[in-house]
């Protein structure tokens, strides 16, 4: 009797279940809530992970492979001297408030970003610009003061998206862009909701109707929310120790990709004993990168030997330049006059990867007679004050998450206190070189200099531990720029 | 009674002024520049200066303090640096989570603790007493966020009865919103209930042993009536003290539980603001938390006076 009742109930409930149309909603989890939704006035990665390519668009975009692709500019001409860029804009593009996008908006956005009152976190992108001219609504002419090999690439970043003069002021709280999704609501502390932009200029491009970003900081809570079905995807999970468990779960696709974050243990190159390249090399020889990745990030994360993202086409693997070799480390230390041991400190922020790596480094250094004392610090506030600004440290450890940021080793007064004129000249030259192959060759040379000179201990690339419903496709495996671009995401049934 | 209330109100106001000054001074010496945090490590010096000016951080400390206090007196809590919206709106939104959460936790904790404590005391050393003691020892030992994680694993991930975290907001279904608060409220309440049970039990035991209770029993009042009329009212004074302390804990201590359950409450707002050095939000929230503690203490003082007539005349 009861069995028959159960069967009947099942049949009834089955006949009432909705038709098997493909789902059009997506709920994405992120560890950190963005502070504001305007990537043109603040640096945090989380802002780009919600807004870039979803809400806002630039003249160009960076694709999954890190290459520059046309977006609001359908094509462009570069003058033979490399100083004049003429952009031909897409027609029929509208901002989310209904106003028309044209060359005046581009001029406004770039002039705003390079103005004296600008609070653009990457103002140097716009530094080469001499003028922005608008001969007609569909054309923008940008004249540069000097050639800039990466100019187009930088225009693909979140810092260079096009915003409208009428709405730019309020973009932090109610963003207005030209992207495939419109801002719907932001429940502070919990979620940001986007809806499909019906007037999007690339008609029928997107399959999703709604996209919700939910902010879950606790690693355990992230996994629980995925397993409970509250989330469809967590593109950058904070729990490496739980990742392999999710990998085995057939409900999910779990991919370990690369971010743009190089995890490096920066050294104070102006301070003894780090002013001696032999000491820096010795410490690099003391590090077993594989074991470090195993202990600090459950084995996910590609070891690096220099300061360049594996996502970038100009990347060269430099891990073999100074490999793990404790005997060599001891010999170099003895040669530098530290044969009887050396005592140094590391300022380690609270992030799990940083504090775990610091502990492992301390153990590895002990093997070669170096005593590494760990001093905990708070990131970002205290770290920026103590290490970054005041340079009051021996060794520290953070991930540098900006794409193509090898030039930080060429910057004056940067926290590494590293001075290498040859490297500096090379980076300046690379920046000006407009030919791609020639520029990439210079970047390869620059990577080699850093690998040999070790201004910082190059450890591993921060992985992007992506987990999403196995029926989802179109999410990025790597992040050549910080992003959760959902333009091409869809459900398979 | 009126004199007691007035004198307590005056000290309440003075405490608040002292607290506001202390908060401001502590944040002055706390390392961390909101502009540098907002603009990251690639920002140029002129950009940082532009943002500091925009945020008013380039003004002298005294000017900023009086600007803050002046705003507060007009009911203006200022604008959040990171969210770019009025702090009053943020706080009101978050109160809509933290306040009901704390209230539920208090209700759960007291409805559990008071009967359990009194019953255990009345049947001292019996099986009920032993069970209550065991439960309360466990409750005291286990931190609330860990109970939270266990609850999520069991009730949300495994059984699927409750959401694993997050808060849908009150604008939708009331019951769905309430359901999202059940696990966190219980996780928050259990350790507090354990403490309260132990205090209730020992306070009741102390009163049971008192001379006037023996006298009452000797006069022929039955056991239940003695308990209700003579023991419990007298035991309530130490219990009220603990409850008062716990009330402030519920508001402040919700931080960890809100984090585990990913609830957008005041605690998480404070935590996030501290991380981002959103000084405007931190100042306001710490002042609100302190204000709550001060007001609760005030109410507890008044509560004593109601419970114990002797305290009324002493003031």
Contact between residue A35 and residue B276 where contact means Cβ atoms under 8 Å apart: yes
Is residue A141 predicted with pLDDT exceeding 60? yes
Residue B38 belongs to a domain:
no
The model carries a pTM of 0.86
Is residue A355 predicted with pLDDT exceeding 70? yes
Contact between residue B12 and residue B295 where contact means Cβ atoms under 8 Å apart: yes
Which chain B residues are closer than 8 Å to A380 by Cβ?
32, 36-37, 275
Let me know if domain A261-463 sits in CATH 3.10.105.10: yes
Which range has the worst mean pLDDT, A12-21, A411-420, B239-248?
A12-21
Farthest-apart Cα atoms in chain B, separation: 86
Residues of chain A with CATH 3.10.105.10: 261-463
Nearest CA in chain A to B44: A123
Contact between residue A285 and residue A279 where contact means Cβ atoms under 8 Å apart: no
Is residue A415 predicted with pLDDT exceeding 90? yes
Domain that holds residue B95: 87-314
CATH (domain of B203): 1.10.3720.10
Model confidence over B10-45: pLDDT tens digits?
988 899 999 999 999 998 888 888 898 889 888 888
Which range has the worst mean pLDDT, A375-384, A481-490, B79-88?
B79-88
Rg for chain B, CA atoms, rounded: 24
Q: Using the beta-carbon criterion (under 8 Å), do B44 and A227 form an inter-chain contact?
A: no
Percentage, residues of chain A above pLDDT 90: 90
What would be the CATH architecture of the domain defined by A57-168?
Alpha-Beta Complex (3.90)
- In order, the DSSP letters of A459-493 are EEEEEEEEEEETTEE---SS-SSS----TT-EE--
Residues 6+ apart with CB under 8 A from A169: none
Residue B195 belongs to a domain:
yes
The band of B314, judged by pLDDT with boundaries at 50, 70 and 90, is: low
What is the C-alpha separation between A481 and A28, in angstroms, rounded? Answer: 18
Residue B288 belongs to a domain:
yes
The band of B313, judged by pLDDT with boundaries at 50, 70 and 90, is: low
Q: What is the ipTM of this complex?
A: 0.81
B31 touches chain A (CB under 8 A): yes
Percentage, residues of chain B above pLDDT 70: 98
Residues of chain A with CATH 3.90.76.10: 57-168
Domain total in chain B? 1
For residue B198, the distance in angstroms to the closest alpha carbon of chain A comes to 32
Q: Provide the CB-side half-sphere exposure for A417 (13 A, CA).
A: 19
Residues 93-152 of B with CB under 8 A from A: 93-94, 149, 152
Can you tell me whether residue B55 is helix, strand or coil?
A: helix
Is residue A466 predicted with pLDDT exceeding 70? yes
Q: Using the beta-carbon criterion (under 8 Å), do B31 and A385 form an inter-chain contact?
A: yes
Residue B55 belongs to a domain:
no
What is the C-alpha separation between A375 and A345, in angstroms, rounded? Answer: 7
For residue A30, the distance in angstroms to the closest alpha carbon of chain B comes to 12
Contact between residue A351 and residue A282 where contact means Cβ atoms under 8 Å apart: no
Residue B51 belongs to a domain:
no
Residue B69 belongs to a domain:
no
Residue B117 belongs to a domain:
yes
Residue B63 belongs to a domain:
no
B32 touches chain A (CB under 8 A): yes
Nearest to A224 among B47, B50, B165 (CB): B165
Peptide bond into A273 cis (omega under 30): yes
Q: Which of B48, B23, B46 is nearest to B37 (CA)?
A: B48
């Amino acid at each position: 009797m009861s069995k028959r009742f159960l069967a009947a109930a099942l049949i009834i409930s089955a006949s009432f279940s909705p038709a098997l149309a493909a789902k059009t909603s997506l709920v994405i989890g992120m560890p950190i809530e963005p502070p504001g939704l305007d990537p043109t006035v603040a640096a945090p990665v989380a802002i780009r992970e919600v807004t870039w390519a979803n809400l806002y668009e630039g003249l160009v975009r960076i694709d999954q492979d890190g290459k520059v692709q046309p977006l609001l500019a359908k094509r462009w001409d570069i003058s033979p001297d490399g100083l004049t860029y003429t952009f031909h804009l897409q027609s029929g593009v509208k901002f989310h408030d209904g106003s028309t996008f044209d060359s005046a908006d581009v001029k406004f956005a770039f002039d705003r970003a390079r103005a004296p009152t600008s609070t653009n976190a990457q103002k140097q992108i716009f530094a080469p610009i001499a003028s922005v001219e608008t001969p007609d609504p569909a054309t923008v002419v940008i004249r540069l003061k000097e050639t800039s090999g990466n100019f187009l690439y930088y225009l693909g970043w979140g810092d260079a998206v096009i915003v409208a003069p009428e709405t730019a002021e309020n973009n932090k709280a109610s963003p207005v862009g030209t992207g495939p999704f419109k801002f719907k609501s932001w429940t502070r502390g919990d979620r940001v909701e986007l809806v499909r932009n019906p007037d999007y200029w690339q008609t029928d491009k997107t399959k999703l109707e709604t996209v919700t970003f939910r902010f879950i900081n606790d690693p355990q809570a992230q996994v629980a929310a995925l397993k409970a079905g509250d989330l469809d995807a967590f593109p950058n999970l904070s729990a490496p120790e739980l990742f392999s468990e999710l990998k085995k779960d057939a409900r999910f696709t779990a991919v370990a990709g690369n971010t743009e974050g190089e995890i490096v243990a920066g050294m104070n190159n102006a301070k003894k004993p780090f002013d001696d390249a032999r000491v820096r090399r010795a410490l690099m020889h003391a590090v077993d990168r594989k074991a470090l990745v195993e202990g600090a990030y459950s084995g996910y994360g590609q070891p690096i030997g220099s300061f360049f993202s594996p996502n970038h086409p100009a990347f060269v693997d430099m891990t073999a330049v100074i490999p793990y070799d404790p005997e060599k480390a001891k010999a170099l230390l003895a040669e530098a006059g530290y044969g009887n041991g050396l005592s140094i400190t590391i300022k380690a922020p609270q992030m799990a990867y940083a504090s775990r790596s610091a502990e492992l480094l301390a153990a590895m250094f002990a093997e070669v007679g170096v005593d590494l004392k760990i001093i905990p610090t708070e990131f970002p506030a205290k770290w920026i004050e103590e290490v970054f600004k005041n340079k009051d440290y021996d060794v520290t450890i953070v991930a540098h998450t900006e794409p193509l940021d090898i030039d930080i080793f060429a910057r004056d007064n940067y926290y590494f206190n590293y001075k290498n004129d040859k490297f500096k000249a090379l980076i300046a030259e690379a920046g000006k070189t407009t030919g791609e192959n020639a520029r990439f060759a210079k970047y390869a040379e620059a990577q080699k200099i850093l690998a040999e000179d070790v201004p910082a201990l190059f450890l591993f690339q921060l992985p992007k531990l992506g987990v999403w419903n196995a029926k989802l496709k179109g999410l990025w495996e790597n992040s050549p720029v910080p992003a959760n671009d959902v333009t091409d995401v869809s459900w398979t049934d | 009674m009126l004199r007691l209330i007035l004198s307590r109100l005056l000290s309440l106001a003075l405490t608040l002024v002292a607290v506001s000054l202390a908060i401001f001074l502590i944040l002055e010496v706390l390392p961390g520049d909101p502009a540098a945090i907002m603009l990251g490590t690639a920002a140029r010096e002129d950009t940082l200066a532009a943002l500091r000016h925009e945020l008013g951080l380039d003004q002298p400390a005294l000017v900023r303090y009086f600007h803050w206090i002046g705003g507060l007196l007009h009911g203006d809590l200022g604008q959040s640096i990171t969210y770019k919206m009025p702090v009053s709106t943020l706080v009101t939104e978050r109160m809509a989570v933290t306040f009901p959460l704390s209230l539920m936790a208090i209700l759960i904790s007291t409805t559990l603790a008071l009967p359990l404590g009194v019953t255990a005391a009345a049947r001292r050393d019996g099986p009920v007493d032993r069970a209550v003691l065991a439960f309360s020892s466990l409750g005291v030992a286990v931190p609330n966020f860990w109970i939270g994680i266990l609850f999520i694993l069991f009730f949300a991930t495994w059984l699927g009865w409750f959401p694993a975290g997050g808060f849908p907001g009150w604008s939708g279904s009331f019951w769905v919103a309430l359901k999202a608060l059940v696990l966190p409220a219980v996780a928050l309440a259990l350790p507090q209930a354990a403490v309260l049970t132990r205090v209730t039990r020992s306070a009741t035991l102390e009163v049971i042993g008192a001379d006037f209770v023996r006298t009452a029993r000797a006069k022929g009042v039955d056991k239940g009536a003695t308990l209700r009329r003579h023991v419990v009212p007298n035991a309530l004074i130490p219990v009220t003290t603990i409850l008062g302390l716990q009330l402030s804990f519920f508001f402040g201590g919700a931080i960890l539980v809100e984090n585990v359950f990913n609830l957008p409450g005041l605690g998480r707002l404070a935590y996030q603001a501290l991380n981002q050095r959103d000084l405007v939000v931190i100042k306001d929230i710490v002042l609100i938390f302190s204000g709550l503690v001060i007001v609760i203490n005030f109410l507890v003082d008044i509560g004593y006076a109601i419970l114990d007539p002797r305290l009324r005349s002493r003031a």
